[in-house]
Structure 1
Amino acid sequence: MTLGTFRDQIIYPDSIEDMHRKAITDDHLLEFLRIVQIEYLVERESLDSVQDWHDVLSGGEKQRIALARLLYHKPLFAILDECTSAVSIDVEQSIYEYLTNSVQCSLLSVTHRVKQLQQYHHFVL
């Protein structure tokens, strides 16, 4: 998390100009936040709010911001190392359900919640 706007946290390390070049709008960002179930942060703040987000957000909120970044950047693959360890199991399952059914990205997950998440993976070691 960096000092800057809430929008900056989602699009990091891109700038707002990069975001516009990618034809991504604030509505897209709001949808990413809805998917990872932290849209309430925009209701509490705004995309333009400037904070030291490291101090403002909880551990689970920080993890979900990282997942919103994944949705924004659309990588071909991602390594998710305990990326949902600080969120509830129902939120975690909802996020993985979306990632496995709607995102064209190969995921390598490291987790201690194997039983809850194995249904979203092709291989479990």
Structure 2
Amino acid sequence: SLFRILGELWPIFGGNVSKPKLTDMFYIPQKPYLTVGTLRDQVIYPQTREEYDELHDSDAGLAELFALVRCSNIVEREGGWDAVNDWIEVLSGGEKQQIAMARLIYHKPKYAIMDECTSAISIDLEGFMYVHCKKIGINLITVSHRPSLWMYHEYLLKFDGRGGWEFGPMVLPEGYQQGTA
């Protein structure tokens, strides 16, 4: 709920919220937003094709992004960047999440609200993408039940389900395995 309010997906009915400008934030839900349109459109959204063409001479950068998030096969399989589809129906859950991560990396916002957005992706790929996002300066704010993501965060905000909360440094449990990311 908190992240949906921060992403301005839900209205505020009381109190105050201080947050960065909406243009500095990107929200990625567990089930990414995809529309009927070209494959390119899925990555550059909310940018328009005209805006994209003014900034780029080719789709080489998009190809690099798809290689980075390990979904290059989609381009050939679906008929190229100009292929039009109902992507929600065509792509698997993991592929949708990989495209959402490519979109995040393409736009490079200051903050990313990640709401279970890698739940259908392998832990290794998830870790690789989190490391890359941090490397390019994206501050990650994550909702997840996967302990594999703990190591990519410095602070923990924990809600108790009754209106209470705790906030403090992320302390990894004794015996925590960092994995292979």
TM-score w.r.t. length of structure 2: 0.63
SS in 2 for 1:124: strand
Identity of aligned residues (%): 49
User: Which position in structure 2 is the counterpart of 1:59?
Assistant: 93
Q: Which amino acid aligns with 1:69?
A: R
Q: Which runs of 5+ in 2 are unaligned?
A: 1-33, 158-181
- The structure whose Rg is larger is 2
User: Which is bigger in relative contact order (C-alpha 8 A, separation at least 6)?
Assistant: 1
Q: Which amino acid aligns with 1:66?
A: A
User: Which position in structure 1 is the counterpart of 2:117?
Assistant: 83
1:98-109 matches, within 5 Å, as 98-101=132-135, 103-109=136-142
Cα offset for 1:24? Answer: 6.9
Q: Which amino acid aligns with 1:18?
A: E
Cα offset for 1:43? Answer: 2.2
> For 2:76 and 2:156, how far apart are their aligned partners in 1?
38
Q: Which runs of 5+ in 1 are unaligned?
A: none
Out of 29, 32, 38, the position equivalent to 1:5 is: 38
Instruction: Report the CA distance shift for 1:20/1:91 in structure 2 as closer, same or farther (over 3 A).
Output: same
User: Which position in structure 1 is the counterpart of 2:48?
Assistant: 15
Instruction: Report the CA distance shift for 1:25/1:71 in structure 2 as closer, same or farther (over 3 A).
Output: farther
Aligned length: 123
Cα offset for 1:124? Answer: 3.2
User: Which position in structure 2 is the counterpart of 1:73?
Assistant: 107
Please identify which structure carries the higher helix content.
1
Instruction: Report the CA distance shift for 1:57/1:93 in structure 2 as closer, same or farther (over 3 A).
Output: same
User: Which position in structure 2 is the counterpart of 1:121?
Assistant: 153
